Amino acid sequence: MKVSSQTPAIQNAIRGNTYILNIPVYQSDGVTPFNLTGGTVYFTLNSSSTPASDGTDASAAIKKQVSSFITPSGGTYPSQAQIVLANTDTSGLSQGTYYYDVQVKDSSGNIISLQANTFTVIDDITTRVS
């Protein structure tokens, strides 16, 4: 089974900010939405593009997974994942380039990797928030 999605390069993410990544998932034709019902989407951010393959993502800077999905307007089933990177997730990141990917585990247990990309972090200037 093959699915597709466009995962953007994320440039100049400010450390300590919140980011919401909306990731539409399509069947292999790149047009037909992929039904995510009963599945899980995993997001992993790492400082290395080739981290150790230990099955736990222990070296990941951020790990997220979601099992609730969005049905786009006019759609008939959920085909979009929303990954929320809270300010507490990004506040511990150092300035530099990270690598991320998104994987889908469908309702049958198949694992499908979506396109990987980069995530560039810059330091925040304002640190007072109260």
State pLDDT tens for residues 41-72. 999 999 998 888 888 898 999 999 999 999 99
Element (H, E) at 103: strand 96-105
Are 121 and 100 within 8 A, CB to CB? no
What's domain 3-122's superfamily in CATH?
A: Immunoglobulins (2.60.40.10)
CA distance 34 to 14: 32
**pTM of the entire predicted model:** 0.90
State pLDDT tens for residues 67-113. 999 999 999 999 999 999 999 999 999 999 999 999 999 999 999 99
Please identify which residue in the block is written with the tokens 């300590």: 16
